[in-house]
């Protein structure tokens, strides 16, 4: 009897979600980005206002501008840019990287990332919480995966522009970009925290901050 009860309970329990976001309770929920309440998603646009355009997005179709200090550009296809993704637990990015450019070390606190190289040659690296570094040079057609929350980067080690498309199991994965968070936050991280953390003198911190307009 006990074994039968356990079997019934197992059958009744919901299967674990493969998404980092809560499971949707309706066919779709086009985000109302002007809604006043947002808890793990945005309020739904009234069904009568939904159109075909709500299910399509061309924001990843254009090459990004890599004329910046990192030599890279990230176009985000998350719920803020594509409201049709609301509550669906998925999103995508387009990453363009110039020769020698870098998508700097960053992490996604709310999602695991998978990506495919479409063009170019990239060094893709990630660091674990145990300070173990993994990396590999990838070319067109090769994939990578970054477990949720781990710091990672992509460096263009080829002679041509590189293009990556990445996918996430969250409609809003978030991005913690380490150099920007540490040296270009508002308000600023106290200098004595940075000098102690990196074991350097104040002029070094000042120089780094100046490159980010600090």
Task: Summarize the annotated binding site for oxalate as residue ranges.
Answer: 93, 103, 108, 113
CA distances from 82 to 33, 40, 163, 164, 175 (A): 10, 16, 21, 19, 17
Instruction: Using CA atoms of 176, 93, 19, 57 in order, give the dihedral in degrees to the nearest 10.
Output: 130
User: Which residue bears the tokens 């990196």?
Assistant: 198
**Whose CA is closest to 160, among 98, 115, 86, 96?**
98
What residue numbers does the annotated binding site for Mn(2+) cover? 106, 108, 113, 152
Phi first, then psi: what are they for 158, rounded to 5°? -100, -175
Residues of the binding site: 93, 103, 106, 108, 113, 152
What's the rounded Cα separation, in Å, for the pair 75 and 182?
Answer: 22
Residue 97, Cβ neighbours under 10 Å: how many?
Answer: 27
């Amino acid at each position: 009897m006990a074994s039968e009860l356990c079997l019934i309970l197992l059958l009744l329990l919901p299967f674990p979600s493969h998404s980092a976001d809560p499971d949707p309770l309706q066919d779709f929920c086009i985000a109302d980005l002007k809604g006043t309440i947002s808890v793990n998603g945005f309020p739904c646009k009234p069904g009568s206002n939904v159109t075909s355009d709500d299910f399509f997005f061309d924001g990843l179709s254009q090459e990004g501008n890599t004329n910046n200090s990192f030599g890279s550009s990230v176009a985000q296809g998350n719920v803020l840019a594509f409201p049709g993704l609301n509550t669906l637990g998925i999103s995508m990015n387009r990453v363009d990287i110039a020769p020698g450019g870098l998508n700097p070390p960053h992490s996604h606190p709310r999602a695991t990332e998978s990506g495919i190289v479409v063009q170019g040659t990239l060094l893709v690296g990630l660091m674990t919480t145990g300070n173990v570094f993994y990396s590999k040079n990838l070319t067109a057609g090769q994939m990578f995966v970054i477990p949720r929350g781990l710091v990672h980067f992509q460096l263009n080690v080829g002679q041509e522009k590189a293009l990556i498309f990445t996918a996430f199991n969250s409609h809003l994965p978030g991005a913690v970009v380490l150099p920007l968070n540490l040296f270009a936050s508002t308000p600023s991280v106290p200098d004595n925290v940075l000098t102690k953390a990196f074991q350097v003198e104040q002029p070094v911190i000042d120089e780094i901050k100046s490159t980010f307009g600090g």
